[in-house]
Structure 1
Amino acid sequence: MVAANIVAKERELDDNNVFAVDDDLRLLKSAAIYGANASGKSNLAKALSFMKWFMINSSKDTQSTEKIGVEPFELSTETEVQPSFFEIVFLLDAKKYRYGFEANQKRIISEWLSYVPNTNKTALFERVSEGNSRKLKYLSKKFKAEGIYPKTRSNALFLSVAAQFNVEIAERILDWLTKKVNIVSGLDDQVHLIHTVSYLAKNNDNRSEIIQLIKQLDLGIKQIRIKQAEIIPMEQSSYHFKTESSIKTGHQRFDKKGNSVSIKFFDLENQESEGTKKIISIAGLLVDTLKYGKILIFDELDARLHPLISKAIVELFHSRKTNSNNAQLIFMTDDTNLLSNKIFRRDQIWFTEKNKYGATDLYSLVEYKIQNDASFESDYIKGRYGAIPFIGDLSQLLGEPNA
């Protein structure tokens, strides 16, 4: 998320929402993505999630006969036979890396990795597929992966295979991707709860910080009790679990004079609201991301959350005090209360919209010329920026049936 060369109406946003990597590069601490239902917001998160999984696992968790899990865009005769393209640019060990690949369901068409160790871009490897043949077009000595490419299947990534054979650069990239980049859905509370439970079960700084966060979000919770989690896989996929932990939330009890007399504990699963369960579920994820300067990509962030809670979460990332390690948040949302020039710079707001051919366009608010006193929310609802649903005439939907 590279910051644009703009100045926000609220000048403190330029100081709080942006951080400098060096003299030439500034990055954003957050980005919000808006769009109508079925406009492609969630597909963006799904594509990034697949890319992450495939980079880490294609060499070890797939077989030679398995299809690659890409889906061609089938609403165009031109693209339905073309490969899917994936590329990311990221910083690792103070160096900028560019990695990407093209793939169809049968094989990897091309794959590349380069970095900028000083000032000049340096290619580390380039892989191509020509007809039925495949070859390593270029391999830098700095990548130290001689003799490994012949061991790479046509449906696996060379980067993933190289990491399996202890190539240091490949190992560092996949370690960064595994530990520093989280891609989650706001609808998967049970998955997030496992992480929160694991922190709460330990008596460390993360535990106290999670409890403090929960208390500050006005849930009326004064104490939390938890038994050690028992995690039971529900499916073969590592993303589906059931937790048998007992989590109790403590609330104050009062006498008839309004004096606090004791703490009453409720069962989280059966006695708390869906919003409370959501906040407790993601509390560990938020603390972990902020504390260790990670990247969090969050689809449906606002699901089951009050707008003020969503705003508070965003402000945790913008605050220098709570985000001293420059963690980054990218989230998909429909909460227009956050569309404010007091919360975001224009380059932090993005939209997805399907064109007339059914393809998704992703574009930024920074592309629009906007007056300083413009209301982002009002103009968005009015359709000035696009990315809203066009609703047909519903007046006759439940009218009298035709004779």
Structure 2
Amino acid sequence: MLIEFSVGNYRSFKDKVTFSMVAANIVAKDKQLDDNNVFAVDDELKLLKSAAIYGANASGKSNLAKAMNFMKWFMINSSKETQSTEKIRVEPFRLSTETETQPSLFEIVFLLNNKKYRYGFEANQERVVSEWLFYVPNKRETRLFERVNNGNTDKINLSKTFKGEGIHPKTRRNALFLSVAAQFNVEIAEIILNWLTTKLQIVSGLEDKNYLDYTIDSLSKEDSSKREIVQLIKQLDLSIKEIKLIKSIIHGNIDYLFTIIKTGHNKFDTEGNSVSIELFDLDSQESEGTQKIFFIAGLLINTLKEGKALIFDEFDARLHPLISKAIVTLFNSNETNYHNAQLIFMTHDTNLLTNKLFRRDQIWFTEKNKYGATDLYSLVEFKIRNDASFESDYIKGRYGAIPYIGDLSQLFGEPDA
């Protein structure tokens, strides 16, 4: 389970951005929101099943998803897919003389095998400056390892529990010790990277076609996932009565087998009676919205069934607001999300901004401050009435995080005489 994610320019930077899925100590207007949208890890920790992040264009919503995606990629691949001369793909905050030369910070807090872990690192384009891993085996946080840079050399303080002796000399300056440790079969490192690979998915709604294979793979199996995907697509009112997978071969120097999805629609006679099923090609004859639902259907079902965390940028792109709401409701429900999967999404869809769908701690905003840096804050920070209209107040600017549009009436000036 994902608990928190932080990103900033260095560890002491006061404007470090932290996003949290920890439930606040509040009571929702509708008690059903508390019963469905929150789950208890133990007596002290409760987590949210979903969260929405709003903000104007260029306010930093997508950058948060990109930072998470980079952190995931670097943790998994820095020891095996980079060379010693490659630069690390971090970019300092360039609008401040204080931070433009400072390393970038990334930290993630998560639950794995009923234990809480906190892992992070600082890096510039040349090297990993520091790295740390802590966990809570019982009640107190305990260090597993900590890497510090002393000039041109690294020092790594290891606990006996981590069992990573002898690996430090094999760790390049532009690679993470955790990634190298996993390559050398250190069990804790392997478990963490396996969780990261299999349980944390980061998706862009502008590139969701890349996830069609999830759906095709599930539809190819005669199991419950196939039935659930078909049921989901049918229930979303797409007028699709049947789904067929057609395998085709492209002949060339190397024959290539690929799968085409066909969607079945009712064909009617002059009396309005259904007489047959007409097959359409998903790629060329269905709308972009219908295509997107197919792209992400397998991913959504898999996330819910496996209790994963899904971070979805541009969530509402090409989706009707009612379909977006239906997907969020799948996560905010004990009936359909009994494994406590988590959905975190970036959106402009204000139809979802309602206290009938979300608690206040599930709604977040991004806004650029006067220095051009992103502020991230939750609706729970505002004192508002229980019956407040989140959507109306947001559009009115009460919570910030909206574009301030200038006077466009004189855009083209006076017409020529």
Q: TM-score range by the shorter chain?
A: over 0.9
Letter in 2 for 1:221: I
Cα distance change, pair 49–230 in 1 and its aligned pair in 2 (3 A) = farther
Distance in 2, matches of 1:173 and 1:47, equals 18
Partner of residue 35, structure 1: 55
Of 74, 83, 90, which residue of structure 2 is paired with 1:63?
83
CA deviation after TM superposition for structure 1 residue 201, in Å: 1.9
* Residues 67 and 21 (structure 1), Cα distance of their counterparts in 2 relative to 1, 3 Å cut: same
- Identify the residue that residue 339 of structure 2 maps to in structure 1: 325
In structure 2, the residue corresponding to 1:245 is in which secondary structure? strand
Q: In the alignment, which residue of structure 1 is the partner of 2:382?
A: 368
What's the secondary structure of 1:105's corresponding residue?
coil
Q: 1:229 to 1:20 in 2, by over 3 A?
A: farther
* CA-to-aligned-CA distance 1:204-263 (integer Å, 9 cap, x gap): 2211111110001000001011134889xxxxxxxxxx9942111000111111111110
Partner of 1:174: 193
Secondary structure class of the residue paired with 2:85: coil
Contact 1:194 1:243 in 2 (8 A): no
> Which of residues 192, 197, 210 in structure 1 aligns to 2:216?
197
Give the 3-state SS of the residue equivalent to 1:313 in structure 2: helix
Q: Distance in 1 between matches of 2:339 and 2:31?
A: 21
Shift of 1:401: 4.5
Q: Give SS of 1:143's match.
A: coil
Residue 54 (structure 1) aligned with residue 66 (structure 2) = no
Structure 1, residues 305-338: CA drift from partner, whole Å, max 9, x if none? 0000000000000111110000000000000000
* TM-superposed deviation, 1:134: 1.4
Work out the CA distance in 1 between the residues paired with 2:246 and 2:268. 27
Partner residue of 1:20 out of 23, 40, 48: 40
- The answer to whether the aligner puts 1:114 opposite 2:128 as a matched pair is no
Structure 1 residues 223-372: aligned runs within 5 Å: 223-228=242-247, 244-372=258-386
Per-residue deviation, 1:47? 0.2
Say whether the 8 Å CA contact 1:34–1:350 is kept in structure 2.
Answer: yes
Count of aligned residue pairs for this structure pair:
392
Q: What CA distance in whole angstroms lies between the structure 1 residues aligned with 2:26 and 2:376?
A: 20
**Do the aligned partners of 1:292 and 1:327 also contact (CA within 8 Å) in 2?**
yes
Match of 1:380 among 363, 387, 394: 394
Does the 8 A contact of 1:225 with 1:249 survive in 2? yes
- Once residues 386 and 228 of structure 1 are traced to their aligned partners in structure 2, the CA distance between those partners, rounded to angstroms, is 51
Show the 5 A alignment for 1:85-96: 85-96=105-116
Say yes or no: does 1:211 pair with 2:225. Answer: no
TM-score when normalising by structure 2: 0.92
**Paired-residue identity, %:** 75
Q: Whole-Å Cα distance in 1 between the matches of residues 23 and 109 of structure 2? A: 14
Residues of 2 paired with 1:229 and 1:150: CA distance? 50
Q: What letter is aligned with 1:79? A: T
- CA–CA distance in 1 between the matches of 2:179 and 2:240? 45
**Which consecutive residues of structure 1, in runs of 5 or more, have no partner in the other structure?**
232-241
**After TM superposition, what 4+ stretches of structure 1 lie above 4 angstroms from structure 2?**
228-231
Equivalence for 2:241: 222
User: Tell me, what secondary structure is at the counterpart of 2:327?
Assistant: helix
- Give the TM-score, by structure 1 length: 0.95
Name the aligned partner's letter for residue 280 of structure 1. Answer: F
Report the CA distance between 1:202 and its aligned residue.
2.0
Residue 11, structure 1, aligned to residue 31, structure 2: yes
Letter in 1 for 2:29: K
Q: Is the 8 A contact 1:201 1:229 kept in 2?
A: no
Q: Deviations over 1:327-367 (max 9, x none)?
A: 00000000000000010000000000000110000000000
- In the alignment, the residues of structure 2 paired with residue 304 and residue 244 of structure 1 have an alpha-carbon distance, to the nearest angstrom, of 26
- Higher mean C-alpha deviation, range 49-58 or range 181-190: 181-190
CA distance in 2 between partners of 1:88 and 1:393 (Å): 42
Task: Say whether the 8 Å CA contact 1:201–1:227 is kept in structure 2.
Answer: no
Q: Which amino acid aligns with 2:71?
A: M
Distance 1:401 1:127 in 2: 66
The 1-side partners of 2:262 and 2:235 are apart by: 18
CA distance in 2, matches of 1:9, 1:157: 45
Letter in 1 for 2:337: N
| 1:119-175 deviation line (CA, Å, top 9, x unaligned) | 111100000012112111x10000001111110000000000000000000000000
- Specify whether residues 251 and 2 from structure 1 end up closer, same or farther in structure 2 by C-alpha distance, changes over 3 A only: same
Residue 104 of structure 2 is matched in structure 1 by: 84
Residues 162 and 318 of structure 1, relative CA distance in 2, 3 Å threshold: same
Find the residue that maps to 1:141 and give its secondary structure.
coil
Q: Which of 104, 128, 131 lines up with 2:151 in the alignment?
A: 131
Gaps of 5+ in 2: 1-20, 251-255
Q: Is the 8 A contact 1:198 1:229 kept in 2?
A: no
Contact 1:7/1:14 (CA < 8 Å) preserved in 2? Answer: yes
- Structure 1 residue 155 corresponds to structure 2 residue 204: no
Match of 2:160 in 1: 141
